[in-house]
Each structure stands twice: as structure tokens, then as C-alpha cells.
């Protein structure tokens, strides 16, 4: 017999991402429209363990769709990684009469959702991460905003870099994945793009490229480096020493995670939030929402966690020749 869902909880977990508020808003408003009650859980799974649970009404999500960050707050919880913590979290859900939870976060958060499902709380996860590194979906909440923020910042660095005839290394976010670096590399017209998925750590190739371009009369040389490779400052010093060309490193950092979401992030996050509620209402659990081939879909969390995603080789090749 499928469990009847009367009250839905919603939380955001892991790194925040622009568009999370749009997703929260859609969860709250869709659930209320479907006759359910909604509880917001503050500060992710850690907040759940601390019983930071509040009632949410339509008006509580007014005027948030355009805001960056997450109004619920977020955290990374080591306590919730333990079985004891997970059981305690499920008990707190039951105490608050939460029958189903929408978890918005990256794949680390999916493991938390899976644990709650195992202990009797129906769960569905939404892909909330600027990194785009979730295999079961072509879209993740926040990527579009982050990549546009980074692109605009890089254009500015490029202006000053060209004026001074410098070489610039710009480090963008992506601890394990080079999607932001690849997209900025193409969108900003970078001379070199370093991705954790493909980089061979051969700096001599980059040095040769810089020297050859300078001989051809290029006044700038832009290198986009992904956070997963890192070491941009020391790389800049080595490149300057080897080429004799002034080289600066700029690490964009957390500015990429903030700011008002783009229309794409507001729209897709809204649809995903609504979709998540409708999957929970059907009595399904241990699911994750994705966007594939133009449609919103959902997968079993275990299946989703086993899927692999890598940067498309063709796109990488093209990025190098542009």
C-alpha cells in the first residue's frame, strides 16, 4: 500500500546555488495547492538533527525567486553521515509529522536522502549545484547563473590583461568537475582551458603556446584553470619565469556561487520543485529529479549515484581549436 503524504518537508544541503530559492518556492506553493502542509528545515541535515523545523505558508516564499543563496540556509553535516545520525533525523521527521522530504543539493545530499528513505521517510532529491557534475541530469540548479557570473568577471580581467599585455590565469570553481571552466573557456575565448578531466600537467605545452601567440602579435593570453587543478598562483610564477611575460593569477572563488539567478535557473528550478512534490504525492520514495532530452524525469537514487558523467570529448576538442 502506498503511503499517503500529508506533510512535506524541504531542505537545502551542501554548497548553496542560485535558483535554490526558486525551487523552495515551487515546493511550498505546489504542495499547498495540492492540499498538503509544508515544513521548512533550516541548515540542511544538521538543522534537521537540531530540530530546526518551521511551518511554511505561501507568503513565506514571497519575493525570494530573484534572490541568490538559500533562505533555508545550508550546511555539510558529518553527524548525518553516521547511521545513528540518520536514524535520529528520520525520528525528528516523524515527530514533526513529515511524511516526505524534498532535498535540494549535490550528490552528497542524495546519500542523506537515501538514508532517510531507508528509515521510513519518503524522499526525493533535486540537483542543486553550480558544478553541473550530476550524471542523471543535463541541468543542475545554479550552473547557468554561476557560469554567467564567471564569464562576466573574466571579460573584465581580460580587458586589463590585454591593456598590460599580460598573461592571465583565472581559476573558476569546480572541485572535481571542469564544466564551469570549459564553458567559460569557450565563452570568454580563452587561449588555454585546463580541466581536471583532461589536464596532463604539462606546463611546457602552455608555455610554448604563450610564446608562439606572442610572436604572432597577440597582446593577451587567457588561461582558464579549474579549481580541481588549482595552484594558479604558483603556476603564474612559473609561467612568468619561463616566458618573461608578466603573468597574474585571479581566483574567482565564492562570488560564483552567489547572486541573482538567471531566468534559466529560476524557471528550471521552479519546474523541478513542483515535479518533486508531484512525485512524492504518488507515494514514490528514494527518487531524484533530472532534466534529460528536454523533459523532467526521475530516477531511483541508487541508480542515479551509479551513473557516470564525463565532459564530452568532442566538446573538449572543439574548445581547444577555437
Among 15, 105, 127, 290, binds ligand F6P (CB under 6 A): 15
Helix (H) or strand (E) holding 37: strand 37-41
- The DSSP 8-state label assigned to residue 128 in this structure reads B
* Residue 129: CB minimum distance to ligand F6P, A: 5
Q: Beta partners for 140?
A: none
131 is catalytic: yes
Taking CB under 6 A as the criterion, the residue among 107, 131, 192, 265 binding ligand F6P is 131
Helix, strand, coil percentages (3-state) for the chain, rounded to 5, are: 45, 20, 35
- The residue annotated as part of the active site, out of 131, 192, 265, 298, is 131
Per-residue contact string for residues 250-269; x = within reach of ligand F6P by CB under 6 A: -------x------------
- 163, 167, 169, 170 alpha-carbon torsion, rounded to 10°: 20
- Output 100 or 127, the one with its CB closest to ligand F6P: 127
CA 278 to chain centre: 23
Nearer to ligand F6P, 36 or 173 (CB): 173
How far is Cα 7 from Cα 273, in angstroms, rounded to an integer? Answer: 15
Whole-angstrom distance, CA of residue 39 vs CA of residue 291: 26
User: Backbone dihedral region of 97: left (phi > 0), alpha (psi from -120 to 50 degrees) or beta?
Assistant: left
Contact flag: residue 127 with ligand F6P (CB under 6 A): no
Compose the 185-224 pattern: x for residues touching ligand F6P by CB under 6 A, - for all others. Answer: ----------------------------------------
Specify the stretch interacting with ligand F6P by CB under 6 A; choose among 87-95, 123-131, 149-157, 299-307: 123-131
Residue 66 has φ and ψ, to the nearest 5°, of -90, 0
Q: Which part of the chain contacts ligand F6P (CB under 6 A), choosing from 48-56, 79-87, 167-175, 270-278?
A: 167-175
Nearer to ligand F6P, 46 or 122 (CB): 46
The residues assigned a catalytic role are 131
Amino acid at each position: 500500500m502506498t503511503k499517503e503524504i500529508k506533510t512535506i518537508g524541504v531542505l537545502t544541503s551542501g554548497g548553496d546555488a542560485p535558483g535554490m530559492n526558486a525551487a523552495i518556492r515551487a515546493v511550498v506553493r505546489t504542495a499547498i495547492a495540492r492540499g498538503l502542509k509544508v515544513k521548512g528545515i533550516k541548515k540542511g541535515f544538521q538543522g534537521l538533527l537540531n530540530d530546526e523545523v518551521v511551518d511554511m505558508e505561501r507568503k513565506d516564499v514571497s519575493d525570494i525567486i530573484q534572490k541568490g543563496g538559500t533562505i533555508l540556509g545550508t550546511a555539510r553535516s558529518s553527524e548525518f553521515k553516521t547511521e545513528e545520525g540518520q536514524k535520529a533525523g528520520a525520528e525528528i521527521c516523524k515527530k514533526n509529522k513529515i511524511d516526505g522530504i524534498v532535498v535540494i543539493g549535490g550528490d552528497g545530499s542524495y546519500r542523506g536522502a537515501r538514508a532517510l528513505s531507508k528509515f521510513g521517510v519518503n524522499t526525493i532529491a533535486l540537483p542543486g549545484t553550480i558544478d553541473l557534475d550530476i550524471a542523471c541530469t543535463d541541468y543542475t540548479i545554479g550552473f547557468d547563473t554561476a557560469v554567467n557570473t564567471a564569464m562576466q568577471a573574466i571579460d573584465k580581467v581580460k580587458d586589463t590583461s590585454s591593456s598590460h599585455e599580460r598573461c592571465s590565469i583565472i581559476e573558476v570553481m569546480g572541485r572535481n568537475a571542469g564544466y564551469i571552466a570549459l564553458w567559460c573557456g569557450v565563452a570568454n575565448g580563452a587561449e588555454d582551458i585546463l580541466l581536471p578531466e583532461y589536464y596532463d600537467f604539462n606546463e611546457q605545452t602552455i608555455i610554448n603556446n604563450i610564446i608562439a601567440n606572442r610572436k604572432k602579435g597577440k597582446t593577451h593570453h587567457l588561461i582558464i584553470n579549474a579549481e580541481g587543478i588549482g595552484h594558479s598562483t604558483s603556476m603564474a610564477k612559473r609561467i612568468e619565469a619561463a616566458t618573461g611575460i608578466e603573468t597574474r593569477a585571479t581566483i574567482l572563488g565564492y562570488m560564483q556561487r552567489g547572486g541573482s539567478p538567471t531566468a534559466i535557473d529560476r524557471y528550471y528550478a521552479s519546474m523541478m520543485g513542483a515535479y518533486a512534490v508531484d512525485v512524492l504525492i504518488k507515494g514514490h520514495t528514494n527518487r531524484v529529479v533530472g532534466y534529460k532530452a528536454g523533459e523532467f524525469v526521475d530516477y531511483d537514487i541508487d541508480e542515479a549515484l551509479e551513473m557516470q558523467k564525463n565532459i564530452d570529448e568532442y566538446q573538449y576538442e572543439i574548445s581547444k581549436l577555437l
